[in-house]
Amino acid sequence: MPRPKGQMFPGFTESENSRMPRLANWAIIGIFMIMAFSAVAAGRDFLMPVTMAGLLFFVFTPMRRFAERRGIPDVLTAAGITLSILLTVAVVAYAASGPLSRAMNNMPTISAQLETKFENVQESLSGLRDAAQRIDEAQSANDAEDTRPAIRIEPEGQTTLGMVATTTPLLLGQVVFTLILLFFMIASGDLLYLKIVQSFDRLRDKRGAYLALRQIEDSLGNYLGAITIINAGLGLAVGLAMWAWGMPGALLFGLGAFILNFIPYLGAIAGVGIAALVALVVMPGVFWPAMVALTYLGLTSLEGQIITPYFVSRRLQMNTVVVFLAVALWAWLWSVIGMVIAVPVLVVMRVLADHVPGWEKFGNFLAGEAPPALASEDEDEARDLVEAGAVAEDEPTARVATAEVFDTPPHDPRV
């Protein structure tokens, strides 16, 4: 059958009520998503520092703009921010290095104490252990009867020291790459915003894109600022509680609580597990280790259920199911770093859903207990728009400042 003129690929012959093309479209979307996830996972060593630098750029851009209004060059602000981050990371690493090295040196003693603690559990499972041993003996007898030569390749295990030696250079390289990229992004001023705004054709779309960027600034800054302060308070409380219980390395517990709490749900579970494990080593019996774990759990529950919902803006709160799935997905893609950036990425997507036509239902799905009402959306210009908004402190004042470009009220539906 001859192909119709102009048709490059085979098409579907459908009746009026046929669903085959729609199913084919969904199949293509599914294949695209699978390939996209594979590409994100394969490019993690490059995409992780780029994503971190992008998020930090939005967080520190208001600080750069504040310094610029006071006559401080963007290059000096970028240098100060990157050096401050580097100094903070160095101080945290130095503070944690002492307790970690002592723990590594005492690993044989810790293992022996844990084995002693679990002797009763091992005795209760002695029946299962004997059964497993008899199965192994029967299997060995069957192997002895087999006269065929067998080649066994023992797996080569990697020691903890070897793993640290392998991952440390890669981690340091990613940190340096992130800071260098962040420096150039901040030092460029509003150039990135200008290029994004210039990529749109209509003036209405240019202004919408610019306001979306400003709202991402506000949302990420408010969220990460509030979470950082709350996590610092939680770290202080956990450190004091561990010190009161007589736990070794109370400072390390405080730092660990501060860092782990950036990972929703899973960070608190990991902290409780670590506290319980260390308490089993240094405390007699099981009751007191359980009390230590309950103390850690109580502090994190107080933070997660009362303090954070009170201080974090309601418009930044997310659907808890979506947050948990996002953390699990990014953990699968990018390990620990993925869990840290999962919620900030959701915040960015939540803001974009308010500005991209057709994404209203997606934004409603991401929102928490009070989702927004769904609503329908009924190169000099770009430079004027960006320059007008650069003097604004936040997104609401940027809305007013950019409205002056049109000589119309800020809530006029035409803009």
Q: DSSP state, 386?
A: H
Query: Radius of gyration over alpha carbons of the chain, in Å?
Result: 28
Q: Return d(Cα 223, Cα 312) in angstroms, integer.
A: 7
Q: Return d(Cα 28, Cα 22) in angstroms, integer.
A: 10
Angle formed by the axes of helices 395-403 and 203-244, nearest 10°: 170
Give the pLDDT confidence score for residue 76 in this predicted structure. Answer: 94
Q: Which region, left, alpha or beta, applies to residue 181 given φ > 0 means left and ψ of -120 to 50 means alpha? A: alpha
Give the pLDDT confidence score for residue 378 in this predicted structure. Answer: 37
Give the pLDDT confidence score for residue 403 in this predicted structure. Answer: 80
Q: Which are the contacts of 187, defined by CB distance < 8 A and separation ≥ 6? A: 74, 75, 77, 78, 79
| Domain range list for the chain | 29-107+168-199, 222-316, 376-407
- For residue 336, the one-letter residue type is V
DSSP, residue by residue, 35-50: HHHHHHHHTHHHHHHH
Q: Return d(Cα 97, Cα 101) in angstroms, integer.
A: 6
Per-residue pLDDT 10s for the chain (415 aa) are 444 444 444 444 444 455 556 666 777 888 888 888 888 888 888 999 999 999 999 999 999 999 998 889 999 999 999 999 999 888 887 877 766 676 666 666 666 666 665 665 555 555 556 656 666 666 665 555 544 444 444 444 445 445 555 666 777 888 889 999 999 999 998 899 999 999 888 888 888 889 999 999 988 888 888 898 999 999 999 999 999 988 888 888 898 899 898 888 888 899 999 898 888 888 877 888 889 999 999 999 998 888 887 777 666 677 788 888 888 888 888 888 888 898 899 888 888 888 887 787 888 788 765 554 544 433 677 777 888 888 788 888 888 888 877 665 555 444 4
Token pair belonging to 95: 């503070």
Give the pLDDT confidence score for residue 406 in this predicted structure. Answer: 64
Give the pLDDT confidence score for residue 1 in this predicted structure. Answer: 45
Give the pLDDT confidence score for residue 53 in this predicted structure. Answer: 92
Find, among 351, 342, 359, 265, the residue nearest to 316 by Cα.
Answer: 351
Q: Return d(Cα 122, Cα 114) in angstroms, integer.
A: 12
Find, among 308, 326, 315, the residue nearest to 364 by Cα.
Answer: 315
Give the pLDDT confidence score for residue 401 in this predicted structure. Answer: 82
Token pair belonging to 391: 């003097």
Give the pLDDT confidence score for residue 4 in this predicted structure. Answer: 47
Element (H, E) at 298: helix 287-302
Terminal alpha carbon distance of the chain: 53
Q: Which are the contacts of 214, defined by CB distance < 8 A and separation ≥ 6? A: 389, 392, 394, 395, 398
Give the pLDDT confidence score for residue 8 in this predicted structure. Answer: 42
Q: Return d(Cα 179, Cα 49) in angstroms, integer.
A: 9
